[in-house]
Homo-oligomer: A and B are copies of this chain.
Amino acid sequence: MEIIQTDTGRVAIIGASGYGGLQLVRLINEHPIFKIASLSGERSAGKYWNEINPFIKIAEDKEITTCNIDEIVKIADYAILSLPNGLSSQLTPLLLENGVKVLDLSADYRFSSLDKWKQVYPTEASKYPRFDYELCEEAIYGFSEEFSKEISNSRLIACPGCYPTSSLSVLIPFLKQGLIESDGIIVDAKSGTSGGGRSPNDQLLLSECSESIKPYGVIGHRHAAEIESISSRFAGHELNLQFTPHLVPMVRGILSTVYARLRDPGLTAEDCKIVLEAYYNNQPFIDILPVGIYPATKWVKNTNKIMISVEVDKRNGRIVLMSVIDNLLKGQAGQAIQNLNIMHGLESDIGLPKITFYP
């Protein structure tokens, strides 16, 4: 495939100072097609990028500005929003009206029902008045492997949460094909601390998190609603599941250990592996591991990969699915660029890392 850099791949990054923004800058800076049109960020407004990020210097240095939509619509074809929940919804309509396509990293458009969003994000709902019901319906859930066709035709992508990306990657193939019971599914998820962001936070100090693991948001975590919402689509009916996130003393990475019951208890781990391989055939970012090889989050660190393994307990037909991602790449900014590639008519894997440096 020939690669031609055009004027139509100009990307505004709104919310450049957080960890999501850092990844976006890092990826677009080296991307053969896209260019950074502008960098917006409250925290660092007025400073030059390379001055405050000497570890991620960009080729053409830029001043970080407060977000100015009027300006952005003049110079950008795409905007990627890495903003707090609720705030995205205040900017997105304006961007779309002016012809800028939007990839939103927040949860604002992940539910096709705005009412559902208001229920899951009540604090944000009361802070930011929203009436964009139609945009919620229009937005495409940006799990790239599943919805690439819709993504390619869309102007508004709701990029999935980090936990949902990891969980759904193993749930969808089995739910869609009716291979597991939709009742009693358990997602035990483990994440590094970068999922909690870059803002000052005493709970995420190294002194607090190092040498410790703990559960949090045990019942009712907002990503549970997101996982249930998408899972229900594929199950064909409403389902609820247990989702327990845990904070792990590491920077990057999510491991989801997913437990369910096979409809046909005669299926072996090898069978289930074949199911996964068939489902994700030719997907450049998904690796199905041999039975008995279990993935470490480190295997996908700094890549846009998902690595998956499956086991079956022959005694009782229970299936254990394991899925690892880098929460900041496939779980956030990497998947956004993957979607951007698709929207732009490119191969989905252009400019995205596939192999980690180990160890």
Which residues of A from 186 to 237 have beta carbons under 8 Å from B? 186, 188, 190, 192-194, 196, 198-202, 204-216, 218-219
A66-74, A134-142, A315-323: which one contacts chain B? A315-323
Instruction: Find out whether the CB atom of B299 lies under 8 angstroms from the CB atom of A54.
Output: yes
A295: Cβ under 8 A from any B Cβ: yes
Which residues of A from 324 to 359 have beta carbons under 8 Å from B? 324, 328-329, 355-359
A240: Cβ under 8 A from any B Cβ: yes
What is the CB-to-nearest-CB distance from A84 to chain B, in angstroms, rounded to a whole number?
16
Per-residue CB proximity of A220-262 to B under 8 Å, as 1/0? Answer: 0000000000000000000010101010111111010101010
Instruction: Find out whether the CB atom of B219 lies under 8 angstroms from the CB atom of A358.
Output: no
A56: Cβ under 8 A from any B Cβ: yes
Complex alpha-carbon distance, A101 and B217, angstroms: 45
Which residues of chain B have C-beta atoms less than 8 A from A56's C-beta?
355-356, 358
Instruction: Find out whether the CB atom of B297 lies under 8 angstroms from the CB atom of A212.
Output: yes
A47: Cβ under 8 A from any B Cβ: no
Among B22, B206, B240, contact of A205 (Cβ-Cβ < 8 Å): B206
A19: Cβ under 8 A from any B Cβ: yes
- Stoichiometry, as copies per complex, reads 4
Among B211, B251, B299, B302, contact of A253 (Cβ-Cβ < 8 Å): B211
A33-41, A102-110, A143-151, A286-294: which one contacts chain B? A286-294
A271: Cβ under 8 A from any B Cβ: no
Closest 7 CB pairs of A and B: A212-B298, A214-B296, A55-B299, A200-B200, A188-B188, A206-B206, A302-B357
24 contacts between A and B (CB under 8 A): A23-B357, A29-B355, A54-B307, A55-B298, A55-B307, A55-B355, A184-B318, A186-B259, A193-B210, A199-B202, A200-B201, A201-B205, A205-B205, A206-B249, A207-B251, A210-B251, A211-B211, A211-B250, A211-B297, A212-B299, A218-B294, A219-B311, A251-B359, A252-B359
